[in-house]
Structure 1
């Protein structure tokens, strides 16, 4: 990757750019798409939601700026393999996408608002990627845990497609499992502000979101 998110072996880099990144069309992947959703219970009054929207460094920072969000964890979701890693997901063959787990207080911010954040902080018509990050591992997926959440997602996705007069690329998946990413990916934007990718992609994306949704920002981010 040009932004050097990690040093991958040469053969993996070659594979990443040569494969079709269409793992989501495999039969094993179709079984994931057709699964019944798993609902994550509240824990100490906190709920969890799951989103994939390109590089998880970017998405983590965006959701952490939202009022009512307690914590965001970077990881992998949506695929058919167990124990995905950064290297394996980057082959485009596991079905997983870089995703985040958003831990939030539903008394302060609703799932519907988190969906608004999701669609409002990405290029909704870009297929298999966001910005410079391309491949099925960077595709947009929004996960639902029950019928009500799916209805919210479908309604907002359909309204956005009508507004844009274009198909919205985000896939809608039943939530199955979230795999936490390697430790060095967590809070990456905060810990590595000097990284060229952070400076040129992550921070501009975050600032664009803040300018668009100032009313959703927590006090420490509302400036």
Structure 2
């Protein structure tokens, strides 16, 4: 019986995934296109990370105290203004990424990095669960030498923790550009709670994230 349940679960995962074409009518609550991103406020900082399908990562980062906005998009590739379909071919070099606008007086960059690692399995190379490809790789895009050093320190902390059995494969890559994803991807987790992928894959990741980041989340 246990084997049958496992087989059914694997079949369900094979029928879903972050690459699925959605037919849900997602409310266009964020009017976003490649030419428009949130304006950085005075005293605010920005960070860009990638940790698998951006649906869960965006939700996780949005839950943190001090984070004003998290935007799903694409980073790390060569093609300007890529589409979801182009990134999904694994030919553009982009990763599904999330750009985070936060108040460093409320949440430090180091805590933000710890939250990033709490939200995905950083030991999986070029994949997250059922999602396979370099566009699902684990990356932190640093903007300064200081940020690079802090990313490397966060990786050492994660490797020294008991959160994973394997070694962290997260890349530390210089930031070059971020392109926001299509409108229907923004806040996808919240707008599609009954989506099979969200239920089977994203929800467990977000719940694990909440457990690890207890005390750092908004009410």
* Structure-1-length-normalised TM-score: 0.79
Q: How does 1:122-201 map to 2 (within 5 A)?
A: 122-163=120-161, 166-201=166-201
Q: CA deviation at 1:198?
A: 0.8
Aligned position for 1:93? 91
Q: CA deviation at 1:156?
A: 1.6
Change (3 A) 1:165 1:129: closer
| Among candidates 81, 84, 105, match of residue 82 of structure 2 | 84
Greater fraction helix = 1
Deviation string, structure 1 residues 82-125 (Cα, Å, up to 9, x no partner): 11110000000110000001111111001111100111221121
Aligned to 1:215, the other structure's residue is in SS state coil
Aligned to 2:215, the other structure's residue is in SS state helix
Q: How does 1:46-125 map to 2 (within 5 A)?
A: 46-125=44-123
Aligned to 2:157, the other structure's residue is in SS state helix
CA–CA separation in structure 2 for the residues paired with 1:42 and 1:186: 18
CA–CA separation in structure 1 for the residues paired with 2:157 and 2:203: 28
Aligned to 2:100, the other structure's residue is in SS state strand
* Structure-2-length-normalised TM-score: 0.80
CA–CA separation in structure 1 for the residues paired with 2:83 and 2:151: 28
Deviation string, structure 1 residues 127-169 (Cα, Å, up to 9, x no partner): 0011211110111111100011111001121233344674311
Aligned position for 2:16? 3
User: Unpaired segments of 5 or more residues in structure 2?
Assistant: 1-13, 23-38
Question: What do you get for the CA RMSD once the two structures are aligned?
Answer: 1.9
Change (3 A) 1:165 1:202: closer
CA–CA separation in structure 2 for the residues paired with 1:129 and 1:73: 21
**Conserved 8 A contact 2:40-2:101:** no
Q: CA deviation at 1:42?
A: 5.2
User: Unpaired segments of 5 or more residues in structure 1?
Assistant: 9-40
CA–CA separation in structure 2 for the residues paired with 1:202 and 1:165: 21
